[in-house]
Amino acid sequence: MAIVIILCLFSSSLSRGQEEKPGAADPEERSHEVASLSSFNPHEGLGKDGRIPRPELPEGIKNPERWRYVPEGRIKPGTILQRFTVSNFIIPSVFYEQDIGAGAGILLFDSDFRQQRRREFAGTGFTYTTEGQKAVGIGWRRYLNHRELENGGVILEERSMVQAGVGYSRTLTRRFFGIGPDTTADNETSYTDEASGFIVSLQKTLPDPGDDLLFSLGLTGYRHNLSPGRVSDRPTTDAAFPGLFNAADSFDILWVNGMLRYDTRDSQHTPYKGWMIEASVDGAPTKTGRGTAAIYKVSGNMVKKVPGLFHDGGDANEEHPPTDVLALGGHVHWTEGDLPFWALPTLGGSQTLRGYIANRFTDRALWHVSAEYRFWVFPRGFSLNDSIRAERLGLALFYDAGTVAPALHALTSAETYISYGLSFRFTLERMALFRADVGFSSEGTNLVVGFGNSF
């Protein structure tokens, strides 16, 4: 399901919205479309130096800092081919994670799917890695709140949406080190994981668009088929942990996902101020084997603006001025019921303990905290062509700490692990941040390349 996650991240960063009827059969309407295309200006609403002037919003818009602005120069009319590099792209994807190796592939996405004035996104993709992982998926998202602006362009509220996706992956080199906080690097085993699944979800703010309180409801279904791993110098998981392996093979599970969050931040994707606290539960009412199961999560983070290290903070009248911040975040997970080892809470990889390989520590409960100093080094970026601009480039210093344990009450006595490192970052826009994290730990160095902040 990795490719579905990638597509959803791309959709959260590059999809924008407004209503418009898709293509017309009437000749008069087609002539109007051609005229609109001929008069299209890719710089309308944008500054050539990278600044996007903040538009005047309609009266009655609540929580204006949570509405994202899309200039008219990013809403090109016409067919998929005519809109290429403006609202639809073919992206050569390159990424790296230690457990699956370096990967590449093709992502195809249309951020103006069905000609909805950037209200809908749809995408598909295929990736392959040096360690033999194959993944393919399809993702779709529709924003629930959006408005046309009188002087051109649209605004959308980024918190309320519906989304869906399906995917398949086959990974030959998944790592498993056993259960508990005391496993060592010498415990490493590998297994092949063939996974397929789907996700559908609704997220909405209460009571008005962009409000602090929001909830989400969803369904996620998976099927995992396991077989021996392909890491040449390590034992396979089925031989080292036969009981755990057999209980996790040919396993079907349906999750019912629920979340409630209080969020004062100015953005869910690249926040510059505010805090949030969230409680969620993933319940499994049906799964292979007897009984039900659930994973409970409580998390929070806060972000504070600090003086710019390499810039003056931009213009207050910009849509997205360069901003340096200090960020703190943390979460606690715990489980109930019987779950396969690959569904238990884990630490390590691109989101937690970034100096360790993915899934380095596994157990039935965990805690994790992170701190980051995020700063922009090149606050104005550079243009790739008339349609694509690297908005800015920057760095982040990070520190992670956490552990796992067999139960919530045992977390206080389990050994704490730490990692720290440097992250390289650039954005195409506020909702599209890419990063490469180099993490260090007691077990060496780990590199991950991915999308979006880790918290």
Q: What is the pTM of this model?
A: 0.84
Looking at residue 442, the DSSP 8-state letter turns out to be T
381 or 163, higher pLDDT? 163
Nearest 10 degrees: Cα torsion 376, 109, 358, 329:
40
Strand partners for 422: 397, 438
Cα torsion angle, 356, 359, 365, 369, sign: positive
Task: State which amino acid sits at residue 368.
Answer: H
Contact 199, 218 (CB under 8 A): yes
Q: Which domain holds residue 165?
A: 2-451
* Average pLDDT rounded to a whole number, residues 426-453: 87
10 Å Cβ neighbour count for 4?
24
Question: Measured in whole angstroms, how far is the alpha carbon of residue 318 from the centre of its chain?
Answer: 25
Residue 102 CA to residue 409 CA, distance in Å, equals: 38
Cα torsion angle, 9, 14, 16, 20, sign: negative
> What does the pLDDT look like over 305-323, one tens digit per residue?
999 999 998 887 888 889 9
Break the chain down into helix, strand, coil percent, rounded to 5. Answer: 15, 50, 40
pLDDT of 50 reads 66
Cα torsion angle, 183, 184, 190, 196, sign: positive
* Average pLDDT rounded to a whole number, residues 363-387: 89
Domain total of the chain: 1
Peptide bond into 345 cis (omega under 30): no
Contact 336, 344 (CB under 8 A): no
> What does the pLDDT look like over 201-240, one tens digit per residue?
999 999 999 999 999 999 999 999 999 998 888 999 999 9
CATH number at residue 100: 2.40.160.50
